[in-house]
């Protein structure tokens, strides 16, 4: 499958931007969404903020209240990473790109 790419910027020497975000069932799988907030444990009907936990094969979620609090503070990714460390130990962060 060919990747659709944008033409390079003239004289910029920048990398081409990938625009093909299609799902490949041969190499990717959809993660199940957890039904409780990963911070508070409260049941979540609609998830607003998600982060993958590849070890358990699930997508962690935050409740609306927790999501608003941490997005405003700019700490939502940090909180998800803290949950991963609590669940699987510090070594788990090496498996994530950022």
Span 51-74, pLDDT tens digits: 999 899 999 999 999 999 999 999
What's the pLDDT score for residue 29?
A: 76
For the chain, the domains span: 32-95
**Residue 37: C-alpha distances to residues 30, 44, 79 (Å):** 19, 6, 12
| pTM, two decimal places | 0.68
Sheet holding 58-62, edge to edge: 32-37, 58-62, 49-53
Residue 6 has pLDDT above 70, yes or no: no
Instruction: Give the tokens for residue 72.
Output: 């405003």
Nearest to 58 by CA among 85, 30, 86, 90: 30
């Amino acid at each position: 499958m060919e990747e659709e790419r944008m033409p390079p910027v003239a004289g910029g020497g920048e990398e081409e931007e990938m625009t093909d975000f299609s799902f490949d069932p041969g190499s990717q799988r959809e993660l199940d969404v957890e039904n409780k907030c990963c911070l508070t444990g409260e049941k979540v009907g609609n998830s607003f903020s998600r982060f993958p936990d590849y070890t358990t094969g699930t997508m962690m979620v935050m409740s609306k209240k927790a999501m608003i609090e941490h997005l405003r503070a700019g700490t939502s990714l940090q909180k998800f990473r803290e949950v991963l460390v609590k669940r699987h130990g510090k070594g788990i962060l090496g498996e994530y790109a950022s």
